[in-house]
């Protein structure tokens, strides 16, 4: 800031004194450097201040009509005038202390004896106040008028030891704000943010809080703990919708009660944000409180999402194989397998698919993961074929998300061809509930895959709500009855009758049935009696790593690499 008083721009200084001689003296000292205006009492001074922009006020204290103390007081009450530094001019020591306490920046003692000292003081005070206003401009977010994120956290960090324990951290967000930007343009988007900033600012005095805009449409508030925030948020939502003429606007708030004094302000807000994210898109729900289990889950999920790429690279995903047995004849025969993914995480250990598949379905990562599993399974079939001379068909799970992948068929075909397999060696298992996501798309995809020679297994049959509709609309090759029915079959007669019904329907359609989740001999016997074709479950074997599965192959086909077994091709259809 050195040298800021350049020749081409003179700061304006207001000299307020009732004695002409003093005004003239000061004018002479300062007019080379500043542009000077004069006032002879407080009232005149206030009038000048109303009209113009000043960088400094030199103020006499004892004046008729309105004295200097009253001027300081009036300036302090005004947002704009408060920022103009005041130097008081006095000969009384007690008045100096009082005026500084009231907000004056400095004082000059009368009579004025050393002009250079007075000039230097004026320059220094202006410089300091301009430095401060630069800081002020980085305090404020231009769009919303609230604090910036940086300033907000710096402030909380400084105040944290003194903060009352009963504080709440709130994260406020406008649902689907990007749509406003996309539909109506950024300008309108900025107006909505500015309205929202104003509404938050208006609420702050009552809840005794401070606020900032963190980024885009996310706002942070730290305030005294309130009983509930619903009415406040609801009112904000209504007023924001009205002011911005967007009736579909929804606001949601995540709340964290800052009881944990050890945690720092950043983590209060990351917890509140977790709560806020949880209710995204649930339009009836305006607020959600942080819950520690939920938060731990979110952090865990973020970790898993972040680790997918390295897991694929480092082969931390391992494919297990669960055998399926044909039970038509007296002795059950190994007929095929299902590929089931496991994650052997280098730090988190063994992770079941139930913990990450639904998560990856939400964000599309499942496509990469499935692609990996399909490749692995296909190469495994080839390896076993090369080694044991038999082709063990393996079914692979195809997520509902994959169904929407326009490349799905090409991908599967490439995989099969790259391992010199036939399409019916790698059987897509598609869960029945994919039908309720998009029946038309599923019908199209299944039809097309079958035309290319793939055999489709309908997984978890009976678990959805569309079973019967689906049966008539989708041409599939194998029906895999949902595990829940098998589990309850011998406890509850209704389930037993349902299983029978599914068998009858399958017989009518001419497709084999796989019963999965078979754990007990009684279940196996009952299924056999009903005419079930194939069984998968812990009764025979849990899913196994490839080398353990190999032992089953060796047991089933004891003559490895013999010429007559090389041609053998087993699949669920030929076993029927
Ligand atoms: P799913 O496709 O219905 O697979 C059958 C699940 O039942 C497997 O669970 C299997 O380990 C389990 N299971 C088999 N026999 C028994 C039994 O006798 N008793 C009990 N209690 N369970 C049995 P898993 O491996 O935990 O997989 C769960 C689900 O995760 C799968 O259900 C499938 O929907 C999904 N999944 C697994 N691997 C993949 C994959 O590579 N891609 C996709 N998209 N989903 C996969
Ligand atoms: Mg399956
Ligand atoms: Mg299943």
Please confirm whether the linkage preceding 139 is cis (ω < 30° from 0).
no
Strands 35-39 and 544-545: unpaired
**Three-state DSSP string of 24-50:** HHHHHHHCCCCEEEEECCHHHHHHHHH
Q: Distance between CA atoms of 167 and 214, rounded to whole angstroms?
A: 19
DSSP string, 71-86: HHHHHHHSTTGGGS-E
The residue whose CA has the least distance to atom 25 of ligand 1 is 340
In degrees and rounded to multiples of 5, residue 60 shows phi and psi of -80, 150
With a 6 Å cutoff on the Cβ, whether 368 touches ligand 1 is: no
Six-digit token string for 30: 């300062």
- At the fourth CATH level, the homologous superfamily of domain 147-290 is Reverse transcriptase/Diguanylate cyclase domain (3.30.70.270)
Which of 312, 323, 353, when mutated, tests ligand 1's pocket best, judged by the most ligand atoms within 8 Å of its CB? 353
Angle subtended by helix axes 521-530 and 493-509, to nearest 10: 40
With a 6 Å cutoff on the Cβ, whether 370 touches ligand 1 is: yes
CA angle, 81 as apex, 79 and 86 as ends, to 5°?
135
- Listed in sequence order, the residues at least 6 apart from 500 whose beta carbon sits closer than 8 Å to its beta carbon are 530
What pLDDT does 399 receive? 96
Q: What's the gap in Å between 397 CA and the centre of ligand 1?
A: 9
Six-digit token string for 408: 């799905």
Which pLDDT tens digits describe the chain residue by residue (576 residues)? 333 333 345 788 999 999 999 999 999 999 999 989 999 999 999 999 987 778 999 999 999 999 999 999 999 988 778 889 999 998 877 888 888 889 899 988 888 878 888 999 999 998 888 777 666 667 789 899 999 998 898 878 766 655 656 889 999 999 888 888 888 888 999 999 999 999 999 998 888 888 999 989 999 999 989 999 999 999 999 999 988 887 778 999 999 998 766 578 898 999 999 899 989 888 789 999 998 888 888 889 999 999 999 999 999 999 999 999 999 988 999 999 999 999 999 999 999 999 999 999 998 999 999 999 999 999 999 999 999 999 999 999 999 999 999 999 999 999 999 999 999 999 999 998 888 778 899 999 999 999 999 999 999 998 876 667 788 888 899 999 999 999 999 999 999 998 999 899 899 999 999 999 999 999 999 999 999 999 999 999 999 999 999 999 999 887 645 444 444 444 444 433
Closest ligand 1 atom to 353 CA: 30
The residue whose CA has the least distance to atom 7 of ligand 1 is 517
DSSP string, 282-336: -TT--EEE--HHHHHHHHHHHHHHHHHHHHHHTT-EEEEEEEEEE-SSSS-EEEE
Per-residue buried b or exposed e for 19-53, using 16+ beta carbons within 10 Å of the residue's own CB: eeebbebbeebbeebbebbbbbbbebbbebbeeee
Under DSSP, the state recorded for 160 is G
Q: Distance between CA atoms of 336 and 341, rounded to whole angstroms?
A: 16
Q: Distance between CA atoms of 571 and 337, rounded to whole angstroms?
A: 10
Q: Distance between CA atoms of 561 and 184, rounded to whole angstroms?
A: 69
Q: Distance between CA atoms of 50 and 363, rounded to whole angstroms?
A: 58
Domain residues of the chain, as ranges? 12-138, 147-290, 304-557
Q: Distance between CA atoms of 223 and 202, rounded to whole angstroms?
A: 13
Q: Distance between CA atoms of 445 and 435, rounded to whole angstroms?
A: 11
- pTM here is 0.65
DSSP string, 230-292: HHHHHHHHHHHHHHTT-TT--EEEEEEE---TTS-HHHHHHHHHHHHHHTTT-TT--EEE--H
The structural architecture, per CATH, of the domain 12-138 is 3-Layer(aba) Sandwich (3.40)
Q: Which ligand is nearest to the CA of 480?
A: 3
With a 6 Å cutoff on the Cβ, whether 326 touches ligand 1 is: no
Strands 317-326 and 333-345: antiparallel
Class of the CATH domain delimited by 304-557: alpha beta
What pLDDT does 163 receive? 62
Q: Which ligand is nearest to the CA of 375?
A: 1
Q: What's the gap in Å between 572 CA and the centre of ligand 1?
A: 19
């Amino acid at each position: 800031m050195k040298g800021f008083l350049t020749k081409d721009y003179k700061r304006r200084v207001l000299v307020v004194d009732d004695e002409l001689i003093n005004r003239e003296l000061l004018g002479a000292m300062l007019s080379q450097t500043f542009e000077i205006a004069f006032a002879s009492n407080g009232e005149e001074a206030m009038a000048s201040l109303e009209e113009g922009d000043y960088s400094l006020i030199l103020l006499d204290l004892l004046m008729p009509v309105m004295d200097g103390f009253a001027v300081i007081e009036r300036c302090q009450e005004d947002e704009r005038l408060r920022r103009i530094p005041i130097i008081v001019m006095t000969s009384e020591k007690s008045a100096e202390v009082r005026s500084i306490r009231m907000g004056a920046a400095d004082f000059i003692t009368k009579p004025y004896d050393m002009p250079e000292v007075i000039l230097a003081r004026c320059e220094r005070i202006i410089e300091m106040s301009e430095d401060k206003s630069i800081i002020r401009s980085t305090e404020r977010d231009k769009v919303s008028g609230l604090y910036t994120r940086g300033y907000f956290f710096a402030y909380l960090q400084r105040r944290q030891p003194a903060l009352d324990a009963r504080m709440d951290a709130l994260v406020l967000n406008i649902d689907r704000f990007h749509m406003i930007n996309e539909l109506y343009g950024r300008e309108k988007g900025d107006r909505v943010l500015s309205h929202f900033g104003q509404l938050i600012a208006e609420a702050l005095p009552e809840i005794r809080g401070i606020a900032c805009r963190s980024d885009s449409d996310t706002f942070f508030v730290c305030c005294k703990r309130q009983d509930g925030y619903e009415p406040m948020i609801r009112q904000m939502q209504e007023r924001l919708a009205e002011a911005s003429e967007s009736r579909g606007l929804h606001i949601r708030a995540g709340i964290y009660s800052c009881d944990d004094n050890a945690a720092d302000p950043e983590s209060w807000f990351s917890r509140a944000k977790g709560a806020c994210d949880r209710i995204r898109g649930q339009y009836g729900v305006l607020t959600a409180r942080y819950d520690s289990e939920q938060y731990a889950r979110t952090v865990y999920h973020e970790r898993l999402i972040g680790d997918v790429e390295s897991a694929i690279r480092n082969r931390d995903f391992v494919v297990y194989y669960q055998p399926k047995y044909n039970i038509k004849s007296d002795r059950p025969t190994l007929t095929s397998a299902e590929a089931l993914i496991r994650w052997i995480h280098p730090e988190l250990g063994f992770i079941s698919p139930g913990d990450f598949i639904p998560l990856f379905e939400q964000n599309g990562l499942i496509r990469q993961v499935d692609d990996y599993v399909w490749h692995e399974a296909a190469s495994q079939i080839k390896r076993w074929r090369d080694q044991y001379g038999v082709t063990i068909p393996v079914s692979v799970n195809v997520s509902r998300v994959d169904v929407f992948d326009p490349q799905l068929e090409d991908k599967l075909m490439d995989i099969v061809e790259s391992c010199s397999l036939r399409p019916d060696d790698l059987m897509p298992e598609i869960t029945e509930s994919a039908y309720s996501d998009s029946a038309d798309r599923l019908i199209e995809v299944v039809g097309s895959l079958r035309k290319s020679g793939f055999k489709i297994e309908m997984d978890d049959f009976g678990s959805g709500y569309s079973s019967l509709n689906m049966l008539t609309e989708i041409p599939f090759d194998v029906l895999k009855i949902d595990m829940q029915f098998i589990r309850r079959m011998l406890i509850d007669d209704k389930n037993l009758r349902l299983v029978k019904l599914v068998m009858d329907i399958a017989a009518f359609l001419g497709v084999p049935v796989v019963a999965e989740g078979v754990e007990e001999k009684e279940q196996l016997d009952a299924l056999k009696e009903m005419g079930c074709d194939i069984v998968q479950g812990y009764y025979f074997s849990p899913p196994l790593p490839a080398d353990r599965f190999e032992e089953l192959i060796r047991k089933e086909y004891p003559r490895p690499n013999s010429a007559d077994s090389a041609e053998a091709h087993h699949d669920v259809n030929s076993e029927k």
